[in-house]
Amino acid sequence: MKGTCALLAVAGLLSGVASESAGAGVVDADSPSISLLRSWLASSEDERGADVAKIEMTLSRHEAEIAVLLLSKDCLARLAVERKSEIDAKALIAGDKTLRWLEKISGKEPAGGRSLWISLHGGGAVPQVVNDQQWLNQIHLYEPAEGIYVAPRAPSDAWNLWHEKNIDPMFQRLIEDYVAVCRVNPDKVYLLGYSAGGEGVWQLAPRMADRFAAASAMAGHPNNASLDGLRNLPFALFVGGNDGAYERNTVALEKTAELDRLLQADPGGYVHLSRIYEGLGHWMNGKDAEALPWMAEFARNPWPKKIVWVQGGVTHDRFYWLKMPSKTTAKEGQMIVATVEGQTIQLEGDLPRGMTLLLSDDLLDLDEPITVIVNHTQVSNSKIPRTAFTIRECLKERPDPPAAATARFIVP
């Protein structure tokens, strides 16, 4: 089954075309905007660049839905060709680092595409042969009922092997590869890890919460991780009651209490599960495998009505529907809270000038005026148009069709 990814991708693209044509109806056949977009997509890359202004036309909601399908199909088809060699080699390179992985596939593929499980091995600051053994063991440690289960080999043998600064972009690319080449459902991507891998989950999950459906940290230490960013990411932690090294057991109790407090203060978020197995040490005898069916119950919501974004040690320029003006704007510890109530967007915290709001009818009604309030001051109250250009730019920056914005607003 491991060699079927490219075929699955083609089948997915073809089924996307069929559903798009079937659901488009009169607008698909008669809309000048959709006809113009199809014509633009049929042109060469050079011609597209020269005529990009053609797709800046305003779209209706239904036209925007069709445009997302057309542009996503085009984007993923191109990406599948570019990235197939990485999937075939089970290796990708970023700078001077290489991420390799093992893979196994289980269960029947759902109609919406397979799930993806990224499982991080333990080890750390130990000889390479020890980390290699931990990696080879990780592929056998868990088995989801359905999905592509991937066990990456950390690119280094450092103590923080899963939360060095190169890991975030590597995982972003890994997810993109599997979405494009193997027809993975972007809303069904899961992160888990054991020991040092669990430590990586504690760090990665809050700062990449917008890419995952759920996450689980097994026998890991959170170190300095902030939990605020887990607002929309179901999170589980598992520790042996006798796992006293680095005070993992007592820290797990503290973090459970913190998650409980966050949930109580914000009942719409911070779904979590905590298991501290009495009498067990660092190895939990496989009991922590209960995480997988719990995680599988969740799908990512790419358009949550409330976002809590806290920049970690590795900063990001995008989180859900918020986008920094540039990668250099973000700074560690920076916190932004964004909420949507009806047609009003409220932004609070350390907001840089020029921040972009990526918008969709899944978030609010783009046919009606939208009020934007920044730190209690209204900065806008107007309609924000949907355009094919916005969809295209969003997909270029992040090939993630469910999270593709149809409109955007730049905060003054």
Is residue 1 pLDDT above 50, yes or no?
no
CA 153 to chain centre: 20
pLDDT digits (tens, 9 = 90+) for 187-234: 999 999 999 999 999 999 999 999 999 999 999 999 999 999 999 999
Q: What is the pTM of this model?
A: 0.93
Please report the sign of the dihedral spanned by the C-alpha atoms of residue 401, residue 407, residue 411, residue 412.
positive
In this structure, of 17-26, 103-112, 156-165, 350-359, the range with the lowest mean pLDDT score is 17-26
Q: What's the token pair of residue 146?
A: 């359905």
pLDDT digits (tens, 9 = 90+) for 245-265: 999 999 999 999 999 999 999
pLDDT digits (tens, 9 = 90+) for 271-325: 999 999 999 999 999 999 999 999 999 999 999 999 999 999 999 999 999 999 9
Instruction: State the Cα–Cα distance between residues 406 and 303, nearest whole angstrom.
Output: 12
Is residue 267 pLDDT above 50, yes or no?
yes
- Which class is 90-296 in CATH? alpha beta
pLDDT for res 327: 83
pLDDT for res 64: 97
pLDDT, averaged across the chain: 92
Strands 91-94 and 407-410: unpaired
pLDDT for res 239: 98
Question: Nearest-5° angle of CA 264, CA 216, CA 291?
Answer: 100
Contact 353, 329 (CB under 8 A): no
pLDDT for res 20: 44
- Is residue 264 packed enough to be buried (19+ CB in 10 Å), middle (13-18) or exposed (0-12)? exposed
Q: What is the mean pLDDT of residues 372-380?
A: 98
Is residue 19 pLDDT above 50, yes or no?
no
With a CB cutoff of 8 Å and minimum separation 6, the contacts of 147 are 105, 106, 107, 114, 115, 116, 117, 188, 190, 296
Q: What percent of the chain has pLDDT over 70?
A: 93
How is the chain split into domains, by residue range? 2-82, 90-296, 306-410
Q: What percent of the chain has pLDDT over 90?
A: 89
pLDDT for res 30: 60
pLDDT digits (tens, 9 = 90+) for 40-79: 999 998 888 878 888 999 999 999 999 999 999 999 999 9
Buried b / exposed e along 270-286 (16+ C-beta atoms within 10 A): bbbbbbbbeebbbebee
Least Cα distance to 220 among 241, 237, 242, 206 occurs for 237
Instruction: State the Cα–Cα distance between residues 250 and 243, nearest whole angstrom.
Output: 9
Give residue 29's pLDDT band: very low, low, confident or very high (50, 70, 90): low
Is residue 11 pLDDT above 60, yes or no?
no
